[in-house]
Structure 1
């Protein structure tokens, strides 16, 4: 194997970045309807209970494996000889018990990692035709919104009827129902889509302190969806949601403070909010925090902390972090030079289909 020369290493070294645009988009998922030209075609969290339905293109012969991992709490299942038809590597969730779903495809196997907001003792998986059903139970003090936003296929309730039920509760002042009505108007779920009405109901719920509504409202102000763009109001609502622990809001606050978008530029506050999200195991925030340590922005430059947070992110199969680590180890970045570790992380990135990593591995093997 030949070494990559210094000029090549420097040209290939990735500048640290945060995939905030992806985070903003993923915030808006309440459930994902997915492409139907591959094996796994939908992943539907049940918003009323700790249940996830995974629909495949063909009938499942036997239930896939399922296991739990602590600290942070996760449930993992592997689908052999199955491909990821979702077009996504991560789906964020606003459920009371589910933080996000990571989708990892390697060598004909698709792994789903359900990042939980609370521990469950007895997960189970069963098969219903072409659908795998994961149920989580025996949690400690499970608190689920008592007026759930349900998918009609799972709830057995027609979407228009479900909308009308939520609307009655929303008009009575229920913040959770107001959020659900806003989301239904945004997505056209049970009612014709209407961005202005979605904004109206999100605002009512946000003013009552509903964290998810605050985060959605922040996105709408930032993107100019149904209303004139207003970075300052976006920052205001992100801050309120972030203080309630909404990870995506914390991540976006970090970005806004770093860039001075809608908020006074403040690297120390950027570090604080990146850290809040990073400690909740958000891989994007972990990579951003690594970048702040590397650049010495808002915190003392610390290459050990850079490596620590980049590794935590990459070990979650977060592709940008894997590429950053590989190029740090292969370059004169100031972090230890290690061709073996560089190849390891290039290979991890290549296994996720990254063409640049695949090309670099070919060059290294010459």
Structure 2
């Protein structure tokens, strides 16, 4: 891991307060009831159900309830709702804060394997990287963006693998390296990422030594 990444890992010992749940929207009273296979007392499952129905105001409410209870996936989905304004007033700063709270436990290299089976972790790491890259709720920072892309990529997230490869191609936050770029593009493509006109990544000279 590059030294600048190690320094960042040491600097993430903050603790984050859980958000307060939103008030139930009025339309929740007339919404389509959840099917029997969904536990009505599980706000995360209910929120996902309504999100898939494009009932974003209702889904955001249930995600906020799950987030307020400290559910990592609930925190992630509520953060994404806040970032994009899906059913709730757009708030990129709060979205970033919540995403950071999800990733707080995996800022060190030794945590990767321990948390690798938690699907929300690589997603949140990738989205924090996107926040730093795009300036969503936080000042743009290429080094931090690449740092979080690398963590998510090492946990197998294909979008993060592509993003990290592109960082190596452009030298955004890392030293430019077509070798490293090819490595991560290959990993992403093996997982189904659709790469256009990228046959060069399979040239023998880019094989890992």
Alignment TM-score > 0.5, same fold: yes
TM-score by length of 1: 0.39
- Structure 2 regions of 5+ residues with no counterpart? 1-32, 107-120
Q: Deviations over 1:146-185 (max 9, x none)?
A: xxxxxxxxxxxxxxxxxxxxxxxxxxxxxxxxxxxxxxxx
C-alpha distance in structure 2 between counterparts of 1:364 and 1:330, whole Å: 18
1:287 aligned residue: 126
C-alpha distance in structure 2 between counterparts of 1:223 and 1:325, whole Å: 30
Shift of 1:336: 3.1
Q: Deviations over 1:42-85 (max 9, x none)?
A: xxxxxxxxxxxxxxxxxxxxxxxxxxxxxxxxxxxxxxxxxxxx
From 291, 312, 315, give the equivalent of 2:154.
Answer: 315
What aligned pairs does 1:1-366 form with structure 2 within 5 A after superposition?
A: 195-198=34-37, 201-202=39-40, 205=41, 213-224=42-53, 229-281=54-106, 282-331=121-170, 333=172, 335-352=174-191, 354=193, 356=195, 359-362=199-202
Name the SS for the 1:356 alignment partner: coil
Gap change, CA 1:334 and 1:353, over 3 Å in 2: same
Shift of 1:315: 0.8
Q: Deviations over 1:250-287 (max 9, x none)?
A: 11112111111111101101101211222355101111
Are the equivalent residues in 2 in contact too, given 1:268–1:297 (CA < 8 A)?
Answer: yes
| Structure 1 runs, 4 residues or longer, greater than 6 Å off | none
Shift of 1:218: 0.9
C-alpha distance in structure 1 between counterparts of 2:91 and 2:194, whole Å: 36
- Structure 1 regions of 5+ residues with no counterpart? 1-193, 206-212
Name the SS for the 1:317 alignment partner: coil
Name the SS for the 1:262 alignment partner: coil
Name the SS for the 2:94 alignment partner: helix
* Structure with the largest fraction of strand: 1
Q: Deviations over 1:318-337 (max 9, x none)?
A: 21111111111112546432
Name the SS for the 2:201 alignment partner: helix
TM-score by length of 2: 0.66
* Aligned pairs, number: 159
* Structure with the largest fraction of helix: 2
Name the SS for the 1:299 alignment partner: coil
2:109 aligned residue: none
Name the SS for the 2:156 alignment partner: coil
Give the aligned CA root-mean-square deviation in angstroms.
2.7
C-alpha distance in structure 2 between counterparts of 1:250 and 1:288, whole Å: 12
Name the SS for the 1:249 alignment partner: helix
